[in-house]
Chains A and B, each alone.
Chain A
C-alpha cells in the first residue's frame, strides 16, 4: 500500500546557542501560561522519548514535582528559562537546552543582518589566554593587520580574562571547555555591521596593540534549517602542498551548497597523494551530511560511521560509496571546538581505519538531536538517541582522540605555523599514494 515519503532527515544540532537574553521584564498571565505549557512539554518529551527509560537512575517525576512550583513562580523569561535549563541539566548530557526566542533573527532582510557583524578573527583559549588562531584573509581584522598568535585582552569593555575565568571555572574539568569558551569569547567580538569594535591585543613581543576593527557581514551564506537559529555557512578548498588537497568548512549545514562544493573538491583531488579535511572550529550540524561525505572515502557497501540507539530501535549511520571514491591518504584535523557531527565523521572514519586524526581531543558532544518550538517561542533542543561510533565507543563524554596529538601553541601561531596541519602533511609524505 502507499507509503508516501520516508526521508530520514536527522539533525545533529550545534553546540549551545549564543542568542542574547531578553531584558528582565514582568510576565503577563498569557506569558506565564505559555511558560507553564512549555514546562510540561519539555518534561513530557523527555519522559516519552529519552532513549534510556530509566533516565540513568534519575527520578524524572520527582524532577517535575520539584521544579513545577519554580516555573509557576518565575517572574521573568530568564527565570523561566533557568527552570527549564535546570530540568534539562539534571540529565548531565549535551544537546539538551533551551534556545531563547531572540536567537532566531529576522531573516526578511538578508542583505543587512542586524547585530551579527564579525571581525574575521577566530580564537582559541590556550592556557588561560584568548589567542588569535586564524584571521579570515578578506576580513576587517586582516585589513587591520591583526596577526595570528596575538593574545586578545579586551574587546570593547569586556576583559576577556574575566570571561575565561568565570566560564572556565564552570567547565574546568569538562571536555566542552574549549567549545564553550570559544563561542562565548567570539560573542564578545561581535557587534553591529559597519560599527567598529575596539580590541586590545598583546603582540608577540609583549606589546599592547589597540585596533579599531569594523564589524562586517559574516563570511558565508546565511542558512536556515528547521528551528536551528540561522547561521552563516562557508566552505573552502585549496592545495596546501603539491599533491595535497585541503577542505575546510565551518558547519555541517546548507547541504545543497556544502555537499556540492565538498564533492567537487574531492573529485578535483582524486589523484592527490593526500587529502586533509579540517574540522577544527566546526560545531556540527546535520548528521546525514557526515554519512554523505564519508561516501567519498569508503568504497565498501554496508559500512557505517556508527549507530543511533533510540528507545524504540536503532538507526545505522550508513555510508553510501560514491561512483568514484578517493583512495589516497586522508587526514582529519580536529580540536576541542570540533563537536557533534564533526566528531561522528572523524570518529567513524578513524574507527574504520580510513582516516588518521591530528590535533586535539574533540568536545565529546555527539548526540543526534531535534529542535522544536515551545509554546513560549523558545527553541527546545533535545537528544533523540545515544550514539555509538563504529569502534564501539560512545562519543558523548569521551570524544575523538587524535592519532597524533598536535595542539595549538602560541609560539607556533606567532611563527606562522599550524602544528596539526604540519603533522598531517608529514604523515602524508610518509604514505605512498593509494595505501595507508
Chain B
C-alpha cells in the first residue's frame, strides 16, 4: 500500500508521453494543494520574514525584512551596504516606495495595481480574483525540470507566464513585464528551495533577472501569525506628506485656480481593457489647462503617457500643448505653441531634437493619436447642440498635422450603463486621418459637456468615464471538451 501510495504521490500531473495538458485552472488549484491546501493557507493571517538580498556579481549585499498581514498589507525593507535603506509598502489603499537614493514616492496606475496584487495575503489562493483568463500554453524545461506553462492575463491587462513542475506541482519560474517608475521591465523569477512556513510551502530562494542584473533573495526564517504592531504598515511621514500634496493638487481652489473638471477614462478594445487615463481641468487667468496621463497595452504595443497638457484660452482655442510619452521603446516629447495660424512644435526623440511648423485653424482641437482620449473633451465643449446641423471643425494631431473633423448633434437619449441609466447628448462624427480614411465615432456627453462614453465601431473601441460602467456582455455558451482527470495529490 505504501509503495502504491508513493507512486501516486510521485505522479501528480505527469501523464504518459502522449499526455494531454491539464487545464490551467487545474494546475493553479493543484499548486494550492501541493503547497498545503486551502485550509492551511486560511489558517495564516500574518507573516514576518527575514533574509538576505544580493545583486549577484556586483558585490552589493543587504538584509531584508518583510511584514505581510491579511488581507492586503505589506511592508518590506532592505538595507544595502554602501546604499542605505530601501523601503516599500502597501497599507491597503496606498502603494509606496522610499529609496535612500531616489526619495519617497507614491505608486500609481499599473505599478500600483501590481503592488496591491503582491500585497494580497495568501495570493496563490486568490488567483481567480487576480486573473481574468488563464491558459495552459504547453510545457517547457526549467533548470532541467519539465514544467507546465500557464499564461495568465491579469485584470489590469498584464500577462504573466507561470511554470509549474509536472512532477511536484510547484511553481518554479515566473516571467512577466513589471511596471516600475523607470519603465516596463521584463523580469524572470526562479523559485526554489521550497520550505514549510506555518503549514504552507513557500520558496525560500528567489532569483530575479532583469535589466542585465540578477537579484538573489534568500528567506532565512519566517514567523507566521506573529502579532505585528499596527503602525508597521503606517505611511512614513514623507509618504503621508506626498498623499496630502496629491489631495491638494486635486483641489486647486487653494491656489486660486478653479477646478473646472477632470476625471478618469477606461478604454476597451474588442471587450478587453487596453488603456486607463486620468486628467484634470483647471481654470485660471482666463485659460483652461487640461492635463492628464495614462497607460495603454494594445496587443504587443505598450504606451505610457507621462503627461499630456493642453492650454486653451477662454474660447477653447489652443495656446500651447505638451506631450511626453513612450511607445514601446520609442520616446516622444513634443512641445507646441500656437500663434498666428501656426503650430510650432519642438520634437525631442532618440533621433535628436527637431522643429516643425504646421498651418492650423483657430478652432483646432489638439489631439494625440490613438490615446489619450481626454482631449476630445475640448471638442465636446466646442460643438453646438443645434440638432441636424453638420459642423466642420479641425483637429491638430500634435507634432504631425491638422485633419478635418465633422460632427453632428443627434439629440438627447437615455443610455444604459452597468450601474445607471443616464440622459445624455448624442454626437456623431468622423475624423479624416488620411484622405479617404475616415474614422467614425459616437460620443455621449453630459449637460455640462463631459464625455460619458465613446464608441468607435470600426476599431471595436469603447471608452467609458469613471462612474459610467461598461455593461459586460454575457459569456458565450461553453463548447469546451470535458475536464481532464482530477489531479492526484503529491
Contacts and interface: CB of A to CB of B under 8 A. Distances in A.
Interface of A: 1-9, 11, 49, 223-227, 253-256, 259, 263, 286, 288-289, 291-292, 295, 300-304, 307, 309-310, 312-318, 320, 322-324, 370-373, 384, 388, 390-393
Contact of B307 (A300, A323, A370, A388): A300
A113 B173 CA distance: 46
Given A314-B326, A315-B183, A315-B185, A255 B211 contact: no
Interface of B: 53, 55, 57-60, 64, 76, 78, 80-86, 99-105, 114, 118, 123-124, 160, 162, 171, 174, 176, 178, 180-187, 189, 191, 202-203, 206, 208, 210-213, 215, 217, 238, 241-242, 244-245, 293, 306-307, 324, 326, 329, 331, 333, 348-353
Nearest to B309: A300
A295 B307 contact: no
A316 B329 CA distance: 10
Given A312-B186, A313-B185, A9 B83 contact: yes
Contacts of B55: 9, 226
Contacts of B59: 226-227, 371-373
Contacts of A289: 101-102
What secondary structure prevails in chain B residues at the interface with A? strand
A286 B331 CA distance: 24
B82 A224 contact: yes
A289 B242 CA distance: 19
Given A9-B55, A289-B101, A315-B183, A225 B83 contact: yes
Given A256-B83, A301-B307, A302-B293, A390 B58 contact: no
B83 A323 contact: no
Contacts of A322: 103-104, 238
Given A3-B187, A259-B101, A390-B333, 19 more contacts: A1-B162, A2-B203, A7-B215, A49-B212, A226-B82, A259-B103, A288-B101, A301-B306, A313-B185, A315-B182, A316-B326, A320-B102, A320-B104, A324-B241, A370-B58, A373-B59, A384-B211, A391-B353, A392-B351
A315 B180 CA distance: 9
Contacts of A307: 331, 350
A370 B100 CA distance: 19
Contact of A320 (B100, B103, B184, B329): B103
A8 B180 contact: yes
B208 A6 contact: yes
A7 B64 CA distance: 12
B350 A388 contact: yes
Contacts of B85: 256
Contact of A318 (B58, B178, B181): B181
Contact of B348 (A259, A302, A390): A390
B407 to A, nearest CB: 31
B256 to A, nearest CB: 15
Contact of B100 (A5, A49, A256, A304): A256
A49 B105 CA distance: 31
Contacts of B212: 49, 310, 312, 370, 384
Contacts of B352: 392-393
A323 B238 contact: yes
Nearest to A311: B212
A181 B105 CA distance: 40
